[in-house]
Amino acid sequence: MTQSYYEKHRQTLEKAVEASRTREFWSPYPEAPSGKVYGEDAPAAGEAAFQARLNKPMALEMPGIEGEIGAERSPYGFDLGITYPKVDPDTLLTAMEDSLRAWRDAGPETRAGVCLEILHRLNQRSFELAHAVMHTTGQAFPMAFQAGGTHAQDRGLEAVAYAFEAMTRHPGQTHWTKPQGKRDPLEMDKNFHVIPRGLALMIGVSTFPTWNGYPGLFASLATGNPVVVKPHPHTILPLAITVEVCQEVLKEAGFDPWIVSMIADTREAPVTKELALDPRIQVIDFTGSSAFGEWLEQNCHQAQVYTEKAGVNSIVIDSTDNLKAMSQNLAFSLSLYSGQMCTTPQNLFIPRDGIDTDQGHLSFDEVAEALATGVSKFLSDNDRATGVLGAIQAPVTAERIDQARTLGRVVLDSESREHPQFDGARIRTPLILAVDAADENAYQRELFGPISLLIATDSTEDSIQRAKTLARSKGAMTWAVYSTREATLGAMRQAALDAGVSLSENLLGGVFVNQTAAFSDYHGTGANPAANAALCDAAFVANRFRVVQTRRHAA
């Protein structure tokens, strides 16, 4: 049964490894939220499956269940009413440790097969997952389907591919023959066994529970570590469905289903710190605030800790030969999911003397106006706006927009619009402010949400230097540059290497600075304070397992 999962998905796994090496485009999970791809009934069936979950308890199979928990509310204005098992962590972790051996001894191929079957079934449930992601994170449906569904599946598969390659780099056994001159050679038989570090903890984030969660979840699971999922209290459902699918496949494959488990908590009674300090937890994956990420890094010495934290993303605008395309591209990037992405650009550095464009030299204010107009036009169609902006996930983000107005001169104010389909949903368009580079307090911190700052600098050189200093001290997930000058692009690339930030150059079409493609683009670098790891590379998987060797004289 389990071997057949490996055989069933072997080609997909091999292609995933190959794609992660060539870094060419590839995905086995079609991103179009379309009945033509997933079956005519799939969209309706997915929505029905989501609706059927509302206002009910959801079951997961775990030792130590002692109650119910859960109080999610859709950012589109209604309570989900779903409860989840409340678990005694100690009972659960003890059971998971007991289940570790069978999962460890199943070996890399069986584990990879189970992981790929899980991903396959998650893919089949992409519509249901999209509704779950939409109504916890506030992402608009198309984005929830892609970023929350198929692209998250891509990132999960990518992690399995890296893990599988790393675990099978050495042979399971080898014969070792060392010449001894005229004497008989020394001959040894050696075996190499992959063992996991222990139990893994994946701490979910409220905005991208699956996209940011799957890499750690699947990297740990593929390398033999049973995984506890600790979802954000406001965004439980997408990960609960994920755990449900994991348990279903594990059980069918003959393993204890609680090899993937979930410990949900509440904001009032958080359990994450206690869990993260448990000596049985040997791997931690976290996406969220810098404060908590740093606490994990500095206190959980027993575990390998992978964090993605806050950062301040910068764009340097030096010149462009296509002002319109630049403005359109940036309008999308600033609007997408109302700026609630760790990759959303925040600081746009522009020389105070203006820039050269295909429409002649434009002053700083003219560039600001062009960008503001780009955003306004893009969002003037309310249907399109709705499909891009989504809803504000947390009230604090909406409050931040209102507070930020005083930080600079308002170039484009944030609008609060009614959602055409959902009563009570908060839709917010981007706030764009202009500030002077000297006003460092305004822009040298993360302003999470749809808040962008156009920063007037002495020169492009000054812009680059400020972006670099900021990335080194506060971190950055993304950088972009617009310039028609090779020397400027070269200087920006050099700064990107110095600051350890990935860079997009002159994006004018259908690729956006806040989006990365699995198998090709690394998400983050691990080389600046915004994250200590990249999604996904060898470093992300290599420390999740160890090799134990046995050797003996050859028979």
What are the residues binding its own copies (CB under 8 A)? 20-25, 101, 104-105, 166, 169-171, 174-180, 186, 188, 190, 192-193, 195, 197, 297-298, 301, 493, 496-498, 500-511, 517, 520-522, 525-527, 534, 537-539, 542-543, 546-553
Q: How far is the CB of 58 from its own copies (least distance, A)?
A: 34
Q: How far is the CB of 510 from its own copies (least distance, A)?
A: 5
Residue among 160, 117, 145 at smallest CA distance from 519 = 160
Strands (E) in 381-430, as ranges, are: 409-412, 416-418, 426-428
What span, in angstroms and rounded, lies between the C-alpha atoms of 154 and 161? 10
Which residue lies nearer to its own copies by CB, 269 or 291? 291
The answer for residues whose C-beta is within 8 angstroms of residue 77's C-beta and 6 or more apart is: 419, 422, 423, 424, 425
Supply 430's token pair.
């981007």
Which residue lies nearer to its own copies by CB, 359 or 550? 550
Residue among 321, 342, 343, 345 at smallest CA distance from 331 = 345
Q: How far is the CB of 191 from its own copies (least distance, A)?
A: 8
What span, in angstroms and rounded, lies between the C-alpha atoms of 427 and 388? 10
Supply 501's token pair.
């930030």
Contact of 312 with 443, CB cutoff 8 Å: yes
Which residue lies nearer to its own copies by CB, 279 or 395? 279
Q: How far is the CB of 112 from its own copies (least distance, A)?
A: 17
Q: How far is the CB of 291 from its own copies (least distance, A)?
A: 14
The answer for residues whose C-beta is within 8 angstroms of residue 513's C-beta and 6 or more apart is: 313, 315, 333, 343, 345, 478, 479, 480, 504, 507
Which residue lies nearer to its own copies by CB, 392 or 534? 534
Supply 159's token pair.
């992690």
Q: How far is the CB of 10 from its own copies (least distance, A)?
A: 20
Which residue lies nearer to its own copies by CB, 175 or 384? 175
Which residue is listed with tokens 């500095």? 298
Which residue lies nearer to its own copies by CB, 123 or 502? 502
Q: How far is the CB of 387 from its own copies (least distance, A)?
A: 18
Which residue lies nearer to its own copies by CB, 205 or 507? 507
Contact of 202 with 231, CB cutoff 8 Å: no
Q: How far is the CB of 527 from its own copies (least distance, A)?
A: 4
Question: What is the four-CA torsion angle of 386, 387, 388, 390, rounded to 10 degrees?
Answer: 60
Instruction: Sort strands 199-203 and 227-230 into parallel, antiparallel or unpaired.
Output: parallel
Q: How far is the CB of 266 from its own copies (least distance, A)?
A: 30
509 phi and psi, to 5 degrees?
Answer: -120, -135
Q: How far is the CB of 203 from its own copies (least distance, A)?
A: 19
Angle between helices 214-222 and 237-252 (to 10 degrees): 20
In the chain, the amino acid numbered 144 is: A
Which residue lies nearer to its own copies by CB, 267 or 553? 553
What span, in angstroms and rounded, lies between the C-alpha atoms of 111 and 100? 12
Contact of 327 with 374, CB cutoff 8 Å: yes
Which residue lies nearer to its own copies by CB, 487 or 548? 548
Q: How far is the CB of 72 from its own copies (least distance, A)?
A: 34
In the chain, the amino acid numbered 293 is: G
Which residue lies nearer to its own copies by CB, 231 or 526? 526
What span, in angstroms and rounded, lies between the C-alpha atoms of 512 and 343? 10
Which residue lies nearer to its own copies by CB, 249 or 300? 300
Contact of 33 with 130, CB cutoff 8 Å: yes
For 28, 77, 338, 511, the CA distances from 329, given in Å and listed in that order, are 27, 30, 15, 8
Which residue lies nearer to its own copies by CB, 71 or 508? 508
Which residue lies nearer to its own copies by CB, 168 or 363? 168
Which residue lies nearer to its own copies by CB, 448 or 545? 545
Supply 185's token pair.
């050679």
Contact of 454 with 371, CB cutoff 8 Å: yes
Share in percent of the chain as helix, strand, coil (round to 5) = 45, 20, 35
Contact of 349 with 317, CB cutoff 8 Å: yes
Instruction: Sort strands 503-505 and 360-362 into parallel, antiparallel or unpaired.
Output: unpaired
Residue among 55, 80, 138, 77 at smallest CA distance from 422 = 77
Contact of 46 with 125, CB cutoff 8 Å: yes
Q: How far is the CB of 389 from its own copies (least distance, A)?
A: 23
Q: How far is the CB of 511 from its own copies (least distance, A)?
A: 6
Q: 3-state class of 87 per DSSP?
A: strand
Q: How far is the CB of 464 from its own copies (least distance, A)?
A: 14
Q: How many residues does the chain have?
A: 555
